[in-house]
Amino acid sequence: MIKLVSTCNIFNFYKGVDMKKMNKKITRRSMLKSTTALAGAALGSGLITGFPAIHASGTPTIRYLGTAVNMGSEPEKKLFEDTGIKVKYISKTTDEVVKTILTQPNSFDIVDSEYFSMPKLVPSGSLLGMDTNRIKEWSNVVTAFTEGKVNGKTIGDQGTAPKKVLYLKGPNSTEFSKEPTRYATLIPTVYNADTLGIRPDLIKRPINTWAELLNPEFKGKACILNIPSIGIMDAAMVVEAMGEYTYPDKGNMTKAEIDLTMKIFTEAKKAGQFRAFWSDFNESVNLMASGEVVIQSMWSPAITAVRSQGIPCIYQPLKEGYRAWAAGFALPSTAKGRQADICYEYINWFLSGWMGAYLNRQGYYSAVLSTAEKNMKAYEWDYWMNGKPAAQDILSPTGKKLASKGEIRDGGSYNDRMGAVACWNATMDENKYMVRKWNEMIAS
């Protein structure tokens, strides 16, 4: 999704636009650099065995394609200090990342993608099977990924749950493996449980079910995101919570189920339930902060951005559970030699703890919690992970105050939040049909 944005005003809207421009420059520059790096790789190939040796020739540089979640200047600096690797960010939206992997597989060295994109990407053969033997912390990756369990309890696996698409049959396979193998589609990095955001000061009563999104009480003050693949999941949570229908698998609807879901939302839209739809992270922040909308689908850092303006906003836990998402690293199928080694070293650094703490402090979760814990203060860990009241003020990685002493994280502990996951972001078999139906709803 999008990185933590601490300041927010209408001008943030342009960040997306500016970033695209910047990326073009970055890409061109980094292309030059990595060409040099590749030349170095050609010279040194065959001799390379361990990681330190690869630094013998030139500054290692990687072009990192992804959404902005993990892209910050602090991680960039820290990475260079620790490993001597330079990283060039290419930041795009979730859908654009997929498009870039498929259409320009040589424009990046490493990609940070979401698990729900795997059913689209793996059959295309554009990504390399990731060798888990080269990941030092592989055995410590949380069970939410490997087994679909949190704290020993099996969590919801509707949709494209990571465990369904984690393993490949071989390094160049285009098929998923149900059994664990040595080769993974993505090396997990970050994940979270999403829910509805609300303005408690304007709603003034408890909210505890997804059905409230279509409650006529909030007519003209509700909002849903206009990204079909994610919006349909939120819509399904609402339909199920209203008792209209129980899906066998929300993440893989039949045409009839898609019709039903869209019919309910089309009717609500026609009745004026929604103030707007958002497709940009900052739009959701502005809608909420300005009071145009009091209840809407939201992402965790957007809540933080609203709160950092001093406006109350809650990431409301709901009884039906959360919609989860998860991301991880992959290399393009053309990756080899030194450049691939550098990427693996980068992934190992990523999972070694500093970055995990950085992610946890933004309200996300790191795929390897054991190393992240060592890089966080005990009071931080208690607040973010154990659902305990903050022993002192909680600061973001950039030093902004996120919570005062005594406050408790929305939704509570890791086990409470991730344990209550009901479904995952998904790519459905009927995706084509779903996107069309979604367009029809917008047009209605």
Partner 1 sequence: MKINKYFLLALPFYLIFIFFFIIPLILTIIVSFWDYTEYSIIPDFIFDNYKYIFNKCFKFSNDLCVTFKTYLSTFYFCFMAWFFTLIIGFTVAYFLVFHVRSVGMQIVLFLICTIPFWTSNVIRMISWIPLLGRNGLFNSFLISTGVIDEPQEWFLYSHFSVILAFVHLYTLFMIVPIFNSLIRIDKSLIEAAYDSGANGFQILTNIIIPLCKPGIIIGSIFVITVVMGDFLTIGIMGGQQIASIGKIIQVEMSYLQLPSAAANAVILLIITLLLIWTMTKFIDIRKEL
Q: Which of 76, 96, 131, 430 binds partner 1 (CB under 8 A)?
A: 96
User: Could you tell me which residues come within 8 angstroms of residue 363 by beta carbon, excluding any fewer than 6 positions away?
Assistant: 4, 192, 300, 301, 303, 304, 384, 409
Q: Which of 1, 110, 121, 324 binds partner 1 (CB under 8 A)?
A: 121
Angle subtended by helix axes 337-350 and 73-83, to nearest 10 = 110
Q: Which stretch binds partner 1 (CB under 8 A): 77-85, 96-104, 146-154, 161-169?
A: 96-104
Q: Is residue 443 a contact point for partner 1 (CB under 8 A)? A: yes
For the bound state, the minimum distance from the C-beta of residue 184 to partner 1, rounded and expressed in Å, comes to 19
| Surface-to-core class of residue 292, CB atoms within 10 Å of its CB (0-12 exposed, 13-18 middle, 19+ buried) | middle
Residue number with CB closer to partner 1 (37 or 262): 262
Return the CA Rg of the chain.
21
For 194, 243, 259, the CA distances from 265, given in Å and listed in that order, are 20, 14, 10
Residue 383 DSSP SS3 = helix
Q: Applying CB under 8 A, what is the total number of residues that bind partner 1? A: 42
Q: Which stretch binds partner 1 (CB under 8 A): 63-71, 204-212, 269-277, 357-365?
A: 269-277
Task: Give the sign of the dihedral formed by CA 349, CA 355, CA 360, CA 362.
Answer: negative
Residue 378 DSSP SS3 = helix
For the bound state, the minimum distance from the C-beta of residue 18 to partner 1, rounded and expressed in Å, comes to 10
For the bound state, the minimum distance from the C-beta of residue 423 to partner 1, rounded and expressed in Å, comes to 20
Q: To the nearest 10°, the Cα dihedral for 7, 9, 10, 14?
A: -10
Calpha distance 109→111 (Å, rounded): 7
Task: Give the sign of the dihedral formed by CA 374, CA 379, CA 381, CA 384.
Answer: negative
Q: Is residue 73 a contact point for partner 1 (CB under 8 A)? A: no
Q: Is residue 279 a contact point for partner 1 (CB under 8 A)? A: yes
Q: Is residue 286 a contact point for partner 1 (CB under 8 A)? A: yes
User: Could you tell me which residues come within 8 angstroms of residue 382 by beta carbon, excluding any fewer than 6 positions away?
Assistant: 388, 390, 391
For the bound state, the minimum distance from the C-beta of residue 95 to partner 1, rounded and expressed in Å, comes to 4
Residue number with CB closer to partner 1 (222 or 357): 222
Calpha distance 156→168 (Å, rounded): 22
Q: Which of 180, 216, 291, 406 binds partner 1 (CB under 8 A)?
A: 291
Q: What is the rounded end-to-end Cα distance, in angstroms, of the chain? A: 28
Q: Which of 55, 269, 388, 400 binds partner 1 (CB under 8 A)?
A: 269
Q: Is residue 431 a contact point for partner 1 (CB under 8 A)? A: yes
For the bound state, the minimum distance from the C-beta of residue 149 to partner 1, rounded and expressed in Å, comes to 29
Pattern of binders to partner 1 over 381-420, x per CB under 8 A?
Answer: ----------------------------------------
Q: Is residue 22 a contact point for partner 1 (CB under 8 A)? A: no
Name the site residues for partner 1 (rule: CB under 8 A): 10, 13-14, 17, 93, 95-96, 98-99, 102, 119-121, 123-124, 126, 220, 226, 228-229, 269, 274-279, 286, 290-292, 427, 431-432, 435-436, 438-440, 442-444
